[in-house]
Amino acid sequence: MIRADSYFVLVVLMTQFGDSIQGRHERRLLDKLLDSYNVLERPVANESAALLVRFGITLQQIIDVDEKNQILTTNAWLNLEWVDYSLGWNSSDYGGVKDLRITPNRVWKPDILMYNSADEKFDGTFHTNVLVRNNGTCLYIPPGIFKSTCKIDITWFPFDDQKCDMKFGSWTYDGFQLDLQLKSEEGGDLSDFIPNGEWYLLGMPGKRNVLYYQCCPEPYVDITFQIQIRRRTLYYFFNLIVPCVLISSMALLGFTLPPDSGEKLTLGVTILLSLTVFLNLVAESMPTTSDAVPLIGVTILLSLTVFLNLVAETLPQVSDAIPLLGTYFNCIMFMVASSVVLTVLVLNYHHRTPENHKMSGFVQKLFLEYLPWVLRMGRPGKKITLKTISISHRMRELEIRERSSRSLLANILDLDDDLQRFRANVNNSTNTTCHQRQGITVSQSVDETAMCSIAQREMQHILRELRFITGRLRKKDEEAEVISDWKFAAMVVDRFCLFVFTFFTIIATITVLLSAPHIIVQ
């Protein structure tokens, strides 16, 4: 076995060998370079010349897109390269040393900052060593977590594209002192980018801008990288849009229920509440920007109140655009709320009676003739066509004229003439019987006369009862006919609403989906 003192000797020899080959030359070189180096001096040989700094960025990851606060959080590496004339040396004079790693506080470096930073410390980079080569080239690659302001446009949410700028420039040097140039014309380096689960990276082009401000005649140069991202819509499509379409489709089933079932209004209110609960559950998944004023919410107070109460905490505080999904949700909320209102109208029509409501001529023509003809509806034993509508109008006019010229009893059962003849025959027969018995004794004659009078009164009473019964029958028939008309009108409104809201739902869904710049990005 090798003893412990042998290990100690080996470590000492390796240390001495390394110091004689590398450490001694680096130390001597650092002493020479940094002995009279001033970190405040701009490293140019000619004071009137601008120091060229080549700038690039390597995007590693999109950490978060905060729509509510409009902040983009990214993980990126900056790449700055410049030439410091004071830091060059001949590598052969220093044991072949070609590069050095120097802490950033010992050498001059450009004060490049991100102008649109939203970080609490403003500069989110980690100050790493500066790589200095023997020709004076300095390479500084500080990594960092950058929080940049980003104008979020959710007009087409969840089919939206976002463009977020990262603007870099010198904080104190103008363009005559420090000239920034793009390191790559293609923009940012995306070779090591880690894909994001919510956003798809389209590109990161870069642009050099030269700006002149009113305060100063000098130009100011900045490099702006634009992160172009697209939201992955597969999650939102199956968790927001599809359930909303299914719920709105169930609202259409309410128009197919018969009003007598007692569940027509309950179904509509239940669907409205379920849609409200659904929106409440997915409120956290909604974009938290309020560049949006609901499109149809201003027309229906219920829709506006419900929707805005659900997403008020998650919407941003500006109003420049209308979110696509918000518009669709408001359309569906408007449709469901309107279906509940119209269901109440249908039930009101269905349960109307002649004692409380009288059907006007306009309502009668609209809901009993023209709309049924348009919707191809008919009543049992009656086929509604333009010809039957015209005939019914003429028959109604003739019936009104005939009723005005006939007695009440004739209008009911067409028995007025028969009853008059029957009454005359009864009176004649009674009188004849009474005259035939005039030859009988006086007492008997008195009794018979009283009996004849009683018979006449009974017959008249029977006639009055007959008139009352026929009147009640006529009234019941008329009431039944009016009730049947109101029920048929309710059925017509129900069928009309079914067609209109089905058409509205289909058109709204297709319009919203087709108006999106893209449908599904997995």
- 58-94 pLDDT tens trace: 999 999 998 878 899 999 999 999 999 989 999 888 8
Six-digit token string for 144: 């960092």
Taking each helix axis from N to C end, the angle separating 264-281 and 301-311, rounded to the nearest 10 degrees, works out to 30
What per-residue confidence (pLDDT) applies to 145? 95
- Please provide residue 84's backbone torsions phi and psi, each rounded to the nearest 5 degrees: -105, 110
Are 490 and 450 a contacting pair, CB within 8 Å? Answer: no
Are 320 and 291 a contacting pair, CB within 8 Å? Answer: yes
Q: Residue 459 class from Cβ within 10 Å (0-12 exposed, 13-18 middle, 19+ buried)?
A: middle
Long-range contacts of 187-193 (CB under 8 A, 24+ apart): 187/225, 187/226, 188/56, 188/57, 188/58, 188/59, 188/76, 188/225, 188/227, 189/56, 189/57, 189/58, 189/59, 189/79, 190/59, 191/58, 192/58, 192/60, 193/59, 193/60, 193/61
What per-residue confidence (pLDDT) applies to 19? 38
Q: How many beta carbons lie within 10 A of that of residue 127, not counting itself?
A: 13
The Cα 35–Cα 27 span in angstroms is 11
Pairing of strands 219-231, 161-170: antiparallel
Long-range contacts of 507-515 (CB under 8 A, 24+ apart): 508/328, 508/331, 508/332, 508/335, 509/245, 509/328, 512/324, 512/327, 512/328, 512/331, 513/241, 515/156, 515/324
What per-residue confidence (pLDDT) applies to 200? 92
**Strands of 271-409, DSSP E:** none
The Cα 76–Cα 164 span in angstroms is 14
What per-residue confidence (pLDDT) applies to 474? 79
Examine residue 372 and say whether the peptide bond preceding it is cis (omega within 30 degrees of 0): no
What per-residue confidence (pLDDT) applies to 402? 58
Amino acid identity for residue 463 in this structure: L
The Cα 69–Cα 315 span in angstroms is 10
The Cα 24–Cα 4 span in angstroms is 29
Long-range contacts of 500-507 (CB under 8 A, 24+ apart): 501/251, 501/252, 501/255, 501/335, 501/338, 501/339, 502/252, 504/331, 504/335, 505/245, 505/248, 505/249, 505/252, 505/332, 505/335
- Collapsed DSSP state (helix, strand, coil) of residue 201: strand
| Spans of the chain below 50 pLDDT | 1-22, 292-319, 407-413, 415, 434, 437-438, 440, 442
Task: Compute the chain's Rg from CA coordinates.
Answer: 48
